Amino acid sequence: MDFAPRVKAYLRHQGLSAEAAEDLAQETLINVWRKAGTFDPSRASASAWIFTIARNLRVDALRRERHPSLLAEEFCVSQTEPKTPEEVYVGRERERDIHKALDTLPQEQLEVLRMSFFMGRAHADIAEELSLPLGTVKSRLRLAVTHLRAMVERR
């Protein structure tokens, strides 16, 4: 079965332009070819596995597009220069709070967070580099962001 048109249609439905959908569909199928040995039919069907790869690549592409401001947006920190002294003070306080909250993260969560948000690495690449299951990488990121959000909102 030819998955390329189906994957491209899925990515177009996700809001990508025809050109971007074509590029990500090709990247998806290249990853399918490279990772064919890791496919486990007892865990999912081939089509579910392929569309999961496409979805993950789409998420990675969004992260790369939003990289410079992703963490700041997550915690509502403005990337533009504040205009009033009060805005400057509040912005600096928020930034200080985020840095303090980062210091409270366990090392394994901080490492995954830095690789993902600050280095723009894909979750799969992080998992491979750290020799961790992909689910563990995602869990650590989710725990880190949840912890940071709670710490910043508490202040």
Q: For 85-139, what is each residue's pLDDT tens digit?
A: 777 777 778 778 888 888 888 999 988 988 887 777 789 889 998 999 999 999 9
- Residue 14, classed as helix, strand or coil, is coil
Rg over CA atoms, the chain: 19
User: Under CATH, which number does the domain 1-67 receive?
Assistant: 1.10.1740.10
Which sequence spans correspond to the domains of the chain? 1-67, 75-155
Confidence label for 73 from pLDDT (cuts 50, 70 and 90): very low
Confidence label for 70 from pLDDT (cuts 50, 70 and 90): very low
User: Which two tokens mark 91?
Assistant: 């912005």
Tell me which of 118 and 22 has the higher pLDDT. 22
pTM, full prediction:
0.45
What pLDDT score was predicted for residue 59?
81
Cα-based distances in Å from 72 to 109, 118, 122, 148: 18, 11, 19, 12
What pLDDT score was predicted for residue 136?
94
Cα-based distances in Å from 139 to 98, 123, 127, 143: 20, 11, 11, 6
Third-level CATH fold of 75-155: Arc Repressor Mutant, subunit A (1.10.10)
**Number of helices and strands (H, E) in the chain?**
8, 0
Are 140 and 112 within 8 A, CB to CB?
yes
Label residue 113 exposed, middle or buried (CB < 10 Å: 0-12, 13-18, 19+).
buried
Confidence label for 147 from pLDDT (cuts 50, 70 and 90): confident
